[in-house]
Amino acid sequence: MRYPAENGCQAARVCTKAGRAMRLPACGSPTVPGVITSRACPYYGARWLLAPVKETLHLVHGPVGCAYYGQTVRRKSYRILSTALDEKDVVFGGDTKLVRAVREALRLFPDARAVFVYGCCVAGLTGADLAGICRLATRATGRTVVPVSCAGFGGASQGDGHDLAADVLVRFLVGRTSPAAPASYTVNLLGEFDVAGDLQEIKMLLNQLGVSVLCTFTGEASVTSLGYAHAAALNLVHCQRTGGSLAEAMTKAFGTPALKVNFFGFAATAASLRAVAAHFGREEAAEQIIRAAETRVEPVLAELRRHLAGRRVGLYFGGSRVGSMAAAYRELGMEVVWAGAQFGQQEDYAAAWPDVADGGVLLDDARQFEIEKFLCQAQPDLFVGGVRERFLAYKYGVPFTVFPQEGKPYAGFTGFINFAQDIWRAVASPVWRLVHSQ
């Protein structure tokens, strides 16, 4: 499939896999203005990472629309407040309003132990002194008031917001207290957001290994657990785009080693368990867990593989999951013919490359018309994307599954069965026979 030229030349953010030489899409650059992209701004990226942190308040210093936009993250709503900046504040400055808002927020919610103050585009344009005001507010209230300078125009995508949110977590909240119990055989999970029970599956496998999770960044994080997270013996990076910069910052600040893991797919889960076990000297326990899972899971998977093998799938994810998930579809015998991400990095596409079929496409920041073109011309057996892509796929009569998923966990050995069953249900639905017979 050919894609139109962008600014007069073939878009380098689109690559076709041909032969053995690895060619990766260019990424990390801003979207061309006017193009319909599914990216979000750095402010939303910061919300994505910080929203689940318990015992906190979220105060958005910007027009009320920014707060409304950032209220729902991963289909959950969070406690969020706004300074509701307007024209008057643009002319005369909104700093006084922010000081008043921090005080009022803490009066209304006295249980909050920390406040994240998000500086949006308007605050960035007027040059609000976010760091100074937060420093003064911390002294005046005795609570941690954290400046998050995440103006939407300050980065190419939400990926930049993840990086700066990781930075403020480590600078302001991690390492403030000590854990109650000794922290050997403990890990932190970085870049895990507890979607549909994934976290419970991962924790169960780690517990079977004799390893416990001290803090999950940020699906199950709180001011308390972040405070002692520095005491963990190892950081497990489950999502490179949201966890990678956290791991780097924690290694720099506290010397905590990091290990990249992936709990999607049987092979990846087994490899990750073996790697964690090797770190803690628990290799025998890992082999026992994997053998037991093989006996239980393999017969079901073999049957599903029989139905799914050879089917063509297109993937369009947020960031780094494109690499880890491509391997999971391939493990089911499916052919990955299209793999894209909204804000992937070179290493994400490099991870996906071996699992993309020859002649398949890798692309960064897909435009809506490119997704439509793929669905319409390639007619894959399955398209996997976010909620925004769901109805586009249906419109072209293509079976669709959403990722991150909405129902059961996909992580771990049992999760891989759920994952394969969901695919088979979508692909085998009788509705597609009706659609294609019209």
Residue ranges binding ligand SF4 (CB under 6 A) = 41, 43, 62, 66, 69, 120-121, 152
In the bound state with ligand SF4, the residue whose beta carbon lies nearer, of 121 and 352, is 121
Q: How far is the CB of 160 from ligand SF4 (least distance, A)?
A: 11
State the nearest-atom distance from the C-beta of 66 to ligand SF4, in Å.
Answer: 3
Is 119 or 415 the residue whose CB approaches ligand SF4 more closely? 119
Q: Least separation, in Å, of the C-beta of 150 and ligand SF4?
A: 7
Q: How far is the CB of 161 from ligand SF4 (least distance, A)?
A: 9
CB atoms within 10 A of CB 433: 9
Minimum distance between the CB of residue 127 and ligand SF4, rounded to whole angstroms? Answer: 15
Read off the tokens for 209.
Answer: 């290994």
Instruction: Kindly tell me the burial class for residue 8, based on how many C-beta atoms sit within 10 Å of its own C-beta (0-12, 13-18, 19 or more).
Output: exposed
Q: Cβ contacts of residue 384 below 8 Å, gap of 6+?
A: 313, 314, 315, 316, 317, 325, 329, 400, 401, 402, 403
Residue 29 or 288 with smaller CB distance to ligand SF4: 29
Shortest distance in whole angstroms from residue 149 CB to ligand SF4: 11
Q: Which is nearer to ligand SF4, 154 or 333 (CB)?
A: 154
- The residue number whose beta carbon is nearest to ligand SF4 equals 152
Q: Which CB sits closer to ligand SF4, 49 or 66?
A: 66
Q: Shortest gap between Cβ of 153 and ligand SF4 (angstroms)?
A: 7
**Residue among 123 and 375 whose Cβ is closer to ligand SF4:** 123
Q: Which is nearer to ligand SF4, 24 or 121 (CB)?
A: 121
